[in-house]
Chain A
Amino acid sequence: MAERHPREDEAARYILGELTPSEQREFEAELAQSVELRALVQELEEGVETLARAVPQRPPPPQTWAPIEQAIAAIEQEKVVPAFWVNWWRSGWAVAAACLLGWAGYALWMPRSKSETQIASPTAVPNPISPAPASTTTEGQPPSVGPDLISAALASSAAANANRELNGLRWQIATLQTQLQELTQTLSEQQTALTDPGRLKFFPTGSNSPGTTANTLSPGVQRALFYAMAQELGWMPNAASVETLNSLQNVFTTNLHGVDFVYLPVPANARLAQAVAATSGADAVNTAMGTTIQPSGEIPGFFPNNGKLVMAFDSTTVPRGRVLSFYYNSLGYEPILLGDTVATENPMIVSLPTASFGPGGEISVTASLGFMGTNTLGRFFLQTPSLGRP
């Protein structure tokens, strides 16, 4: 380093992931401009390599590799999902186009068939096979082709048309069958992908159609979701209601990057039901404070189209007492803690500002209980919007 760069003191903080998103953007803008700063960052990274090599070396236990291999296989399968939506639209439109073509072909073919039937009718015109009377020709008119030839030509043309249309319809049927197979295949691929745990999922809250299995969202989460939707769609007097609700949130909440944590108070009758459940046995408390989280892999949420990601939680997804943390993970950098809070018995809405991060990173959601361990509940990949923007 021949020359001291004014931002060099920030370089180590940059590679250790300590800069805030805005500081990071500013630093990277400088980095793009300055050869000296880039050289310094590379030299500091070489220092990091030395520091890592100074650690006593121990090989990982033999069982470490197998889960990596499995996870990679699952990721590769996951890649089918964006392709599913593309294929779905492509296939859907192709099916619609094929139907339209089929209908148009049918619409054109039917009237012609009818008119041909009328032409062929012995009551309307002379039989094309029988000779026509000679008086049908007059002087001064150009000589006409003989009626037998016309009839033969008409019959031949009609047969050719019918064959052509028949072939066209057969082709359309074959196309429709192929499209149906593709749709069935992509549907089964989608269903397989949805069974993958640890993925953020977006899905309807239930179905009214008979014979289908209703989704297992708890009433608390549904309430939180509907509230959040109303809030984001501007159906609620947002300032006052958020203030009122935020005043109820617990004191252990940290908001670093504009994350809103809104706790919904449990209605009086629900409190009564919980009190009854708690006094009826210790199980209720043990479940709530259980040391193991069994993530359902289903974090309900939606994009209100204002750059936010809104999610809803309750004790079925995060037991009471767990620290629920939200991170932004970006290429090669330390995850940025966006905010965290301690889960209570109340349903909760979390609104994350994702627009400022742009594509190329991921939002991860973790739940932990101090030294008892941490679970990753879900990840949302910002570079694959088709996963999250249904």
Chain B
Amino acid sequence: METAEHQIIQFPGAPETKKAQLTQAASEDLRLLKLIAAGDQSAMAALYQHRGTLLYSLLLRMLGDEMEAQEVTQDTFVQIWRRAVTYDPARSAPLAWMLLIGRGLAVDRLRARGRRQAHHATYEAEVASLEFEWVSRSRQVEQDELATVCASALNRLPEAQAQALQLAFLRGWTHEEIARSRNEPLGTIKARIRRGLLALRQILKEYQNG
């Protein structure tokens, strides 16, 4: 049974707000996950239609290889199918839950490629590759409004914060590895990443409300 906060009441003809669109999308995720947990394979196909692009794009960005991104996308949806019965909406939003499953599998692949040395040169090289991929891939696609807002939100963060966030989230670097390679205290990196994520969230909220 859906709770009141998941229900959207809208009068006919009223324009959909950005917040309502996002909330509706989250409710759809939740509804589909419930059906998947009950073994509904058509709900899985619907979820793939709904979130396949977002997940594949993230995995492609992380792995940089189309074939591998495709494989991990497949693994991610299979994991979603397996774990949907244990999904707890009180603990995680459905999209975050799915994204973190996919990211975990991609990080697994990144680690399997080999051990990296956490020093300054590696850090610089990784940051440069992130920036190069960002520019080259951004040129290949037309971004929708929300993606553009999120991308600009990332660009508005202080450089060190954006780099730490991307290394941690997209490249699977641990907080310790980032701290070691930048020769900075671990606490500084922890706070930097935490504040960066909170800042990104705040920008998304502002977009929703306005």
Contacts and interface: CB of A to CB of B under 8 A. Distances in A.
Contacts of A337: 111
B14 interface: no
Contacts of A72: 41, 44, 78, 81
A134 interface: no
Given A68-B74, A72-B44, A60 B39 contact: no
Given A58-B53, A64-B56, A334-B100, A45 B204 contact: no
Interface stretch (B5-13, B119-127, B149-157): B149-157
Contacts of A331: 83, 86-87
Interface string B77-92: 1110111001100011
A156 to B, nearest CB: 57
A124 interface: no
A76 B101 CA distance: 21
B53 A65 contact: no
B53 A52 contact: no
Contacts of A366: 108, 112
A325 B112 contact: yes
Interface string B182-200: 0000010011011011111
Contacts, number: 202
B194 A54 contact: no
Interface of A: 8-13, 15-18, 42-61, 63-65, 67-69, 71-73, 75-76, 323, 325, 327, 329, 331-335, 337, 360, 366, 368, 370-371, 374
Contacts of A368: 112-113
A222 B78 CA distance: 33
Interface in B3-51: 39, 41, 44-45, 48
A49 B187 CA distance: 24
* Most B C-beta atoms less than 10 A away, residue of A43, A325, A334: A334
A368 B99 CA distance: 24
A327 B147 CA distance: 33
B187 A9 contact: yes
B69 to A, nearest CB: 8
B60 A54 contact: no
B45 A69 contact: yes
A354 B163 CA distance: 36
Contacts of B73: 60, 64
B175 A371 contact: no
Contact of B105 (A10, A58, A61, A335): A335
B45 A332 contact: no
Contact of B53 (A8, A17, A57): A57
B194 A8 contact: yes
22 contacts: A13-B190, A15-B96, A16-B103, A16-B168, A44-B197, A46-B204, A48-B99, A48-B197, A50-B153, A50-B203, A51-B154, A51-B197, A57-B141, A59-B52, A60-B53, A68-B44, A69-B45, A76-B41, A332-B97, A334-B104, A370-B113, A370-B114
B99 A49 contact: yes
Contacts of B97: 332
A333 B104 contact: yes
A362 to B, nearest CB: 8
B41 A64 contact: no
Contact of B196 (A47, A55, A63, A360): A47
Contacts of B56: 58-60, 64
Nearest to A63: B70
Contacts of B193: 12
A335 B195 CA distance: 25
